[in-house]
Amino acid sequence: MLVLDLGASEQFRKVMVQQTDQFVVATGYTMPPGTGGHLIVVRTMPDGTLDPGFDGDGILEIDAFNGTIGLDLFQQDDQKIVVAGVREDANSAYAMLIVRLLPDGSLDPSFGVGGMSELAIGTGSSYAYAAAPLPGHRILLAGAAEFGSSDDVPVVVRVEADGTLDPTFGNAGVAALAVTEDDSRFWDIGLQSDGSIVACGQYDQGTGAGGFLDFDVLVARFTTNGTLDTDFGNGGILLKPISVEMSESAAAMAIDPNDNILLCGHFALADQTFDAFVMRLDPMGQDDAGFGNAGLVIFMNAPMDQFMDVGALADGRVLACGTSGGLLADPRHQVLVRYLPNGAPDPAFGANGQVLTTVMGGSDVANAFALTAAGRILVAGQAQMTAGRDATLFRHLNEVGSAVGEQGGFPLMSVTPNPVTAGGPMRIVCQGALPGDLAAELVGPLGGSVPMPVRRQDGADHLGLIVPATVAPGVHILRLVAADGAVVGRARLVVER
């Protein structure tokens, strides 16, 4: 557990892992008194130690404008870091904000004005809640903007590599939905394999007959040029009510390797408590009958349950995080839940698929998660401490790599444990007969191989071996090699110290 206290109220909203070196980067804000917030970007080394090579101490704090907040981030293929969020001016008007950083944490002078791009979309305030990278270092944003009134309209925005609006996308860079009520928004965005743009959020239906605000889960798909995809939903828009005349909102989404759409969020009940949900749709927006109850899984643990992030794991399991607890000042916990591919709670994870984490018994929330190369789960959020609220990064064990082999024309080969400790034992199980004379080798991430003897265990397809203590940590390929040199099995293996 890493807790960041900068002397005010802090929160992490998003986290990522740099693929090149497994350093951890998180963004959010610190809220000194009398300000609209200071955007923060924090980078740690893989063990959670602040990285002195990033802005000198591992913490970048931006106190520009009247206030700034970081809400999403990603790393470009040139190692630059892009952060999206909002800025507030002296008149309390908001605009979308993109910050691009060089790998050392300094502002990129080639982007926007001094590394920051302000995008005043519409005629009033605008907000960038999520971002996604595009080829050529262009950027997609999802959020909301005001047009001609105080109504918040869901928008998707495309930005050029220099931080300016892309005039070839939508209407002068902006794709907006038609709305009739005050508070419709896109909270997240993603891309399907053909480049189709999917955004999710909430659609305001006004006040229902019971006198409650009525929001529906909103999903929309756009073509690559920013027009609604009429093959999806109703003219490109899909509304998914869960409770009758009550509020539901999709806080986050993920696109799995099969282009299915995973959504998570919460919905209100008549007593104004919340239940959390995970929803899976097929690539065209139809309910996935193979997941939960007609594509829907409901999480009910406490009076206030909310999911804030969701993702598809390598083996088809689903991970979600959020908050769970009581009303008002009652304690809330960070919650992490893992589901099997069919939507059932994963009994191998926590207690019946869920883990509740409490720091000091106050109000805690998990806003987002990311996976390390070794399969560990990094969770970004906030915890209520004795003197206020601080930003938190937790790392959990996951073992999602276990029994997940590479195909590539070879028989399925499961490896346990995975990750494995250098110098430790491991077990291999293959589906199919194996030659009598076998050896194993580890091919490292930078090339080169390490041979390892294997021994038969309790079956013809069960093998055991010891990983040499000298093997460097990282992601390796484990190969089974027959006497004639032919490779007869292969799996990914993560080695740790």
Q: What is the pLDDT of residue 412?
A: 59
* 240/126 same-domain check: yes
Position 490 scores a pLDDT of 77
Domain boundary among 396, 429, 464: 396
Query: In this predicted structure, what is the pLDDT of residue 421?
Result: 87
Q: What are the average pLDDT values for consecutive 10-residue runs of the chain, which has 497 residues?
A: 93 95 96 94 96 97 96 96 96 95 98 96 95 97 88 95 98 95 95 97 86 90 98 96 86 96 94 94 97 97 97 92 91 96 94 91 94 91 91 86 37 76 84 74 68 70 82 78 76 78
Q: Would residue 401 count as lying in a domain? A: no
Rounded to two decimals, what is the model's pTM? 0.81
State the Cα–Cα distance between residues 213 and 358, nearest whole angstrom.
Answer: 31
Which pLDDT does position 440 carry in this prediction? 84
Give the per-residue pLDDT at 411. 54
Let me know whether 125 and 203 are in one domain: yes
Do 428 and 389 sit in the same domain of this protein? no
Q: Is the domain of 274 the same as that of 320?
A: yes
* Structural domain ending residue among the three candidates 347, 364, 396: 396
Q: What is the pLDDT of residue 387?
A: 79
CATH number at residue 491: 2.60.40.10
pLDDT at 212 (0 to 100): 77
pLDDT at 151: 79
What is the structure's pLDDT at 403? 29
Do 360 and 450 reside in the same domain of the chain? no
Residue 359 in any domain: the answer is: yes
